[in-house]
């Protein structure tokens, strides 16, 4: 397929549907990667080849002054971001910087990690599947990432080269092969200090992966205090964000709701400024036919089904902490979805799964809908007035 066709397909949902079908027919699973992972890597290769085209057409995604929004001491060009997981290794920073207001690459790890083993071709075991009917992705990848040295090379290259207006909120995890709190904190410290020179927005700590058992040990108010203290010490001038998984059921139990709000309270009262809410919900892989070949018993579901879970959490967190910036991430598939998140308390929105089903045109759709809903008001003014009403 010619480059110009790939570029047009990335913007037009109907063309992208055909292009996506072509990719899945062309690329199959290997004995290391499931089909969805192979297709994702091929799509990133195509995206890199579109860099010049995206640079030349960056005005198409320019949201204009009306949608500029301030987070901490940083003024973002636009409120739509690329969620963590899409660019785990900071491979496609430049092309995506012409599309989004902010980038959320990662999760970055200290050491290279292959993730949960699979043998898709020979044994049929997988760690990720795509549910086309429900427009969802279910994964139990287990933090595959190429490590800090590889990541820093890409961050340095991006900081020194041509780039769009997107700022970077780096998602990181302290998980290593040594499962102790001290090992996690030491790993986080090295990631923060070594990447800080290349990060212009901030850092997002991630303890939410449902298929990494040790994360459960880390999801306590006590460890939350330790991680925010570490961020305050080693990246004092950067925005500090925390990633929070959505509710497991609706309506949420009082216990689950209070557990999440307590962890957020500790993070916020000790200097945290942003929470990212709701892009992966834990599910039992043995309860559905589509995930029967997963080696892991638990996986994370992303995509359209998450929307009501994310929306409820955004509402609860905004009511409890009106001054806390919220990134709504989970199930947003249109401008109308994004506006519903803003009505509940979102400050920013970020996307991943919708991009794999419908392409980058949704970014423009979200921007256009937000402008229409805001009328003559700016997004910054809307957010400030909304906060004042809740206080």
State pLDDT tens for residues 178-222: 889 999 999 999 999 999 999 999 999 999 876 667 877 788 899
User: Long-range contacts for 13-16 (Cβ within 8 Å, ≥24 apart)?
Assistant: 13/358, 13/359, 13/361, 13/362, 15/359, 16/358, 16/359, 16/361
Average pLDDT over residues 284-306: 90
Res. 4: pLDDT tops 90: no
Q: Which of 231, 229, 93 lies closest to 166, judged by CA?
A: 93
State pLDDT tens for residues 153-186: 999 999 999 999 999 999 999 988 888 999 999 9
Band (pLDDT 50/70/90 cuts) for residue 7 is confident
Average pLDDT over residues 291-296: 89
As a whole-number percent, the residues of the chain with pLDDT over 70 amount to 98
Beta bridge partners of 69: 76
Report how far apart, in Å, the C-alpha atoms of 22 and of each of 18, 104, 157 are: 6, 28, 32
Q: Tell me what the pLDDT averaged over the chain comes to.
A: 94
Specify the pLDDT at position 159: 96
Res. 1: pLDDT tops 50: no
The torsion angles phi and psi of 82, rounded to 5 degrees, stand at: -95, 120
Average pLDDT over residues 89-95: 98
The residues, any chain, with a CB within 8 Å of residue 284's CB and separated by 6 or more, are: 297, 298
The token duo for 263 is 């962890």
Specify the pLDDT at position 3: 41
State pLDDT tens for residues 109-156: 999 999 999 999 999 999 999 999 999 999 999 899 999 999 999 999
Q: Which domains does the chain have, with CATH numbers?
A: 3-390 (3.20.20.70)
Average pLDDT over residues 336-343: 98
Interior/surface letters 101-116, b for 16+ CB within 10 angstroms, e for the rest: bbbbbbbbbbeebebb
For the chain, where are the E strands, in sequence order?
A: 69-71, 74-76, 80-82, 102-103, 128-131, 136-139, 167-172, 202-206, 239-244, 274-277, 281-284, 298-303, 325-328, 348-351
Res. 25: pLDDT tops 60: yes
State pLDDT tens for residues 227-281: 999 999 999 999 999 999 999 899 999 999 999 999 999 999 999 999 999 888 9
Alpha-carbon gap, residue 358 to 355, rounded angstroms: 5
Res. 13: pLDDT tops 50: yes
Average pLDDT over residues 95-103: 98
Torsion-angle region of 19 (φ positive above 0: left; ψ -120 to 50: alpha; else: beta): alpha
Alpha-carbon gap, residue 191 to 193, rounded angstroms: 6
The torsion angles phi and psi of 191, rounded to 5 degrees, stand at: -60, -45
Report DSSP letters for 75-124, one per residue.
Answer: EES-SEEEPTTTTTTS-SHHHHHTT-SEE----B-SS-B--S--BTTTT-
The residues, any chain, with a CB within 8 Å of residue 270's CB and separated by 6 or more, are: 225, 228, 229, 232
Q: How long is the chain?
A: 391
């Amino acid at each position: 397929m010619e480059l110009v066709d790939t570029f047009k397909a990335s913007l037009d949902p109907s063309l992208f549907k055909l292009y996506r079908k072509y990719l899945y027919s062309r690329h199959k699973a290997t004995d290391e990667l499931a089909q969805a992972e192979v297709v994702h890597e091929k799509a990133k290769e195509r995206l890199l080849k579109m860099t010049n085209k995206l640079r030349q057409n960056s005005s198409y995604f320019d949201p204009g002054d009306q949608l500029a929004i301030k987070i901490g001491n940083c003024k973002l060009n636009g409120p739509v971001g690329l969620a963590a997981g899409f660019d785990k290794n900071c491979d496609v920073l430049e092309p995506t910087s012409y599309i989004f207001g902010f980038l959320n690459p990662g999760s970055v790890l200290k050491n290279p990690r292959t993730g949960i083993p699979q043998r898709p071709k020979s044994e049929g075991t997988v760690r990720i599947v795509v549910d086309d009917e429900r427009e969802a992705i279910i994964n139990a990848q287990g933090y595959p990432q190429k490590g800090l040295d590889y990541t820093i090379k890409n961050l340095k290259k991006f900081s020194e080269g041509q780039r769009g207006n997107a700022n970077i909120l780096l998602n990181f995890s302290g998980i290593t092969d040594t499962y102790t709190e001290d090992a996690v904190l030491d790993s986080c410290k090295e990631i923060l200090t070594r990447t800080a020179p290349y990060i212009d927005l901030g850092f997002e700590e991630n303890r939410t992966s449902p298929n990494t058992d040790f994360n459960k040990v880390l999801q306590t108010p006590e460890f939350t205090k330790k991680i925010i203290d570490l961020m305050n010490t080693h990246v004092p001038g950067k925005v500090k964000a925390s990633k929070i998984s959505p509710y497991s059921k609706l309506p949420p139990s009082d216990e689950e709701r209070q557990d999440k709000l307590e962890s957020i309270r500790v993070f916020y009262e000790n200097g945290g400024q942003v929470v990212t809410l709701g892009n992966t919900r834990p599910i039992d892989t043995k309860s559905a036919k589509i995930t029967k070949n997963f080696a892991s018993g638990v996986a994370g579901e992303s995509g359209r089904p998450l929307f009501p879970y994310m929306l409820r959490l955004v509402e609860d967190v905004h009511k409890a902490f009106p001054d806390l910036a919220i990134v709504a991430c989970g199930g947003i598939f249109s401008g109308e979805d994004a506006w519903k998140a803003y009505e509940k308390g979102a400050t920013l929105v970020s996307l991943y799964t919708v991009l794999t089903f419908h392409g980058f045109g949704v970014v423009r759709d979200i921007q256009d809908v937000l402008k229409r809903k805001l009328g003559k008001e700016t997004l910054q003014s809307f957010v400030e007035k909304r906060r004042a009403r809740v206080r």
